[in-house]
Structure 1
C-alpha cells in the first residue's frame, strides 16, 4: 500500500474536467483519504514548487496556481504513485499527446504549466506535498493504518 498526492489545477477545475479525475480515482480503486478545495496562494506555491525556484517558468507557475481553486487529494492504493502518474501521462503536454493519448494531460492539458494536474513523483515528494496542503494529515500514521488494513 502506498500514499500519494494528487492536485487538479485551476484551469481544469474551472471546466467540467474534475469529474474525469473522480472517475479515474474510482475506476482505478484508489482510496481517497483526504480531499479539499484549496486556493494555492503564492506562499503555498513557493513552498510547494521550491525545487523550481530560479527556473524560467517559476513565476508563471506560482502565479497560475493562485489563479483559482484547485482540488487536492490524498490517495492510497498499491503502487499509487506510479499508477496515478501513468493515468496523468507525461508532464509535458505535447509528449503526452503522442505517447499517452488517453491520459488526463493529453486530453485536458493546455501547456506545460497548465497541464491539468499534479501527481507526486516519489514517496518523499508525496509526504512533503501532503504536509503543505494538508498540514494536519499524519502521513506516517495513515500509512501504518493502510498497511494494517491490507
Structure 2
C-alpha cells in the first residue's frame, strides 16, 4: 500500500467520525487544522506543473510537511492528535529516504525514493491538507459538517 492510499483510509475514517458526530472538532482543533493546512501548503503546495525540482528539494519539502504535522501534534490532544499521529506514521517512509548518494559508507538504512514514491507522498500530503481544511470548516452545532465538498 502506498502512502497516499494509507492517508486516504485515515482521512475517510476521520471524516466519517465527524459526519457521525463521534468527533466534533473544537474551535482549537479547527484553528490548529487550518494552521497545519498553511504549513502543508507552504511545504508541498499545489502540483507544480512544468517545474522540475531536484529530488533533494522535493525531499526537503516533504520533511518540512512532516515537521508541520509534528508541531501541530505537539500542540494538541484527543482525536486530532490521534488522527495526526496515525498520518505521521503512514508518512514515515519519508524519514527513510535520502537524496544524496551514500557511496560505500553505511547510510543508516536509508534508500533513494523513486520519482513515483516522491509523487505519492506529495499527493498524500495534498490530500491530507484538503481533509484538514474540510475539518477546519466544520461548524459546531450548526448541523453543517463542512465535509460535503469531498
Q: Normalising by structure 1, report the TM-score.
A: 0.29
Q: Which has the higher contact order (CA 8 A, sep 6+)?
A: 2
Q: Which has the higher helix share?
A: 2
Higher Rg of the two aligned structures: 2
Q: Which has the higher strand share?
A: 1
Q: Normalising by structure 2, report the TM-score.
A: 0.29
